Structure 1
Amino acid sequence: MLPSEQPHQRRRWNAKNLRLRLGADLGSAACAASAVAPLISVIDRSIMENASGRSTLGSSLRSSLRTLLSRPHTLLFSKPVGLIFALYGGTYLTANALDTATSTLHDRPATHVTSGTAKFVASSVANVGLCIYKDQVYVRMFGPSGPPRPVPLPSYLLFALRDCLTIFSSFNVPPMLGPALTRHMSVEFRSRINGTTVAQFVAPAAIQLLSTPVHLLGLDLYNRPSKVANITWIDRWTQVRKNWAISAAARICRMIPAFGLGGTINGKVRKNIMETLA
């Protein structure tokens, strides 16, 4: 029989327990987002209030933590925390759903995790869109005193660049770097933690040294619009450099729960559930 006459082979899909697997994607994303949203909200508010001059970073943190201890419900169920939950829940869910789609269409195990361009693009689109919406609400709530102003387009672009750097370091770097780290670990250390988990905490935190000035410049363009004050780029760089160290430290602390702890919770909860559904 000629090759052209051979029976057409149907493409195999792994659709076993697909609805439950999608539910696992949603549930693991919600667990991770719930765990990290309150702390990230407090840190984001302190960075923005410090950049706008409304409060120092330390004073803002102390005020929010006092509220969390004395009246936890007013913070946990507040709009700022809800926005952070939607931001990271949506980001984790997008990455999870892409993994499930890949495992389904390419007949891979339910526990399959991707690390390619598609995941970076999908996660970036979700994260950037949700984060830009969150930032334009936050900057109005915690920015300079006075009536809120429209967020300028350059600020949106800088926020998008900041988020793309973070997404790449959070979803793409750990699966690529993890195996190499594991190979260089001692057997004793490897038995407690693997390289992917280490990379999940280190990579998103390290990238903040580069993305923090991008973030601060975006905030400064909103806080001090050129049309209102005669602000030069040297003035803006001076302001960014002034807040760089403390803001980078705060954002590194922010990344540990956001994509370190959150990414680890999301990945482990999803893996455990998928193993039961495979």
Structure 2
Amino acid sequence: MAPTTSTSTWNTKNLSLRLAADITAAATAGVLVAPVITAIDKAIIENASGRAALGLSLRSSFATLALRPHRFLFSKPFALIFALYTGTYVTANTLDTCSSTISAKSASTTTSGPAKFLATSSANLSLCLYKDSRFAKLFGVATSSPRPIPGPSYALFALRDCLTVFASFNVPPLIAPLMPLSDNMQKHVSAASAAQFVAPAAIQLISTPLHLLGLDLYNRDGKLGARERMVKVRKDWLKSSFARMARIVPAFGVGGVVNTRVRANLMGRLE
């Protein structure tokens, strides 16, 4: 019997350049969304700690970005946000490239499903927890030596992010058929697109108190009662919720679209 020969069916054409394109697309999206998200996250934490009112902090950040952009763009807070979203997009992009390589499909192919959801969610969650710990120490209650973030704060931050990811990936397909769009609105935006923005934004009304409570556990580490902490959370809940809604649009809308389009364009040139 003649021996069988195995031939590789992998699509390895320009693989190194394709991986470079993955990183380029992710970094392009990351640098676009990071300024707004940096300002909002800083403002929420400074407001919670009492260092600066929400509006005042936002104005200060955007003034620095406009008048001294180098100081803003080369700061540690910006670097943390840039790393968070670039890392998340890189994870999604490289998973797509690995999939197209193994299955011998077009380099511009994108995937969906549990594997991509778990990979991107894990990357986003781990990077976000690190970012939160650094932001809490940078903009929380001023102390001579920042104390460690308590375990319950990490747990609350993680639960907050799980709710946002669930609302971003799982909820939109469920509520899209229920979106009350008029015929005129449907000419400009689909129900699926509307749901993609509405679901993660709306969940902030539920997840923001978790975020604020986690911050309060760090800012006021004394043995305070639940009632005292809830008073603080309730005071900052609504304005902080709207601020977190504002960060969802660039984070899960603009950034995702830019990353996808830049990657598709670059991959098209390599095929």
2:214 to 215, 218, 223: 218
Aligned counterparts of 1:149 and 1:27: Cα–Cα separation in 2? 36
The answer to whether 1:63 aligns with 2:56 is no
Where do 1:111-190 residues align within 5 Å? 111-147=108-144, 148-170=146-168, 176=173, 189=186
SS at match of 2:143: coil
The answer to whether 1:95 aligns with 2:92 is yes
Where do 1:1-278 residues align within 5 Å? 12-147=9-144, 148-170=146-168, 176=173, 189=186, 197-225=193-221, 229-278=222-271
For 2:234, the aligned partner's letter is: R
Pairwise CA distance, 1:171: 5.1
**Offset from partner CA, 1:7-31 (integer Å, 9 cap, x none):** 6876733333322221121111000
Aligned counterparts of 1:274 and 1:178: Cα–Cα separation in 2? 33
Pairwise CA distance, 1:47: 0.1
For 2:156, the aligned partner's letter is: L
Aligned counterparts of 2:195 and 2:104: Cα–Cα separation in 1? 28
Q: Residues 235 and 10 (structure 1 numbering): CA distance in 2 closer, same or farther, change over 3 Å?
A: farther
Pairwise CA distance, 1:131: 1.3
Q: Percent identity?
A: 55
**Offset from partner CA, 1:180-222 (integer Å, 9 cap, x none):** 699x8969955x5555544443333233222211211111111
Are the equivalent residues in 2 in contact too, given 1:178–1:197 (CA < 8 A)?
A: no
Pairwise CA distance, 1:99: 1.5
Gaps of 5+ in 1: none
Q: Residues 14 and 195 (structure 1 numbering): CA distance in 2 closer, same or farther, change over 3 Å?
A: farther
Scaled by the length of structure 2, what TM-score is found?
A: 0.87
Are the equivalent residues in 1 in contact too, given 2:176–2:195 (CA < 8 A)?
A: no
Q: Residues 62 and 187 (structure 1 numbering): CA distance in 2 closer, same or farther, change over 3 Å?
A: closer
**Count of matched residue pairs:** 269
Are the equivalent residues in 2 in contact too, given 1:178–1:194 (CA < 8 A)?
A: no
Aligned counterparts of 1:151 and 1:224: Cα–Cα separation in 2? 11
Aligned counterparts of 1:65 and 1:255: Cα–Cα separation in 2? 18
Are the equivalent residues in 2 in contact too, given 1:37–1:85 (CA < 8 A)?
A: yes
CA RMSD of aligned residues (A): 3.0
Are the equivalent residues in 2 in contact too, given 1:206–1:252 (CA < 8 A)?
A: yes
Aligned counterparts of 1:187 and 1:56: Cα–Cα separation in 2? 40
SS at match of 1:113: coil
Q: Residues 252 and 67 (structure 1 numbering): CA distance in 2 closer, same or farther, change over 3 Å?
A: same
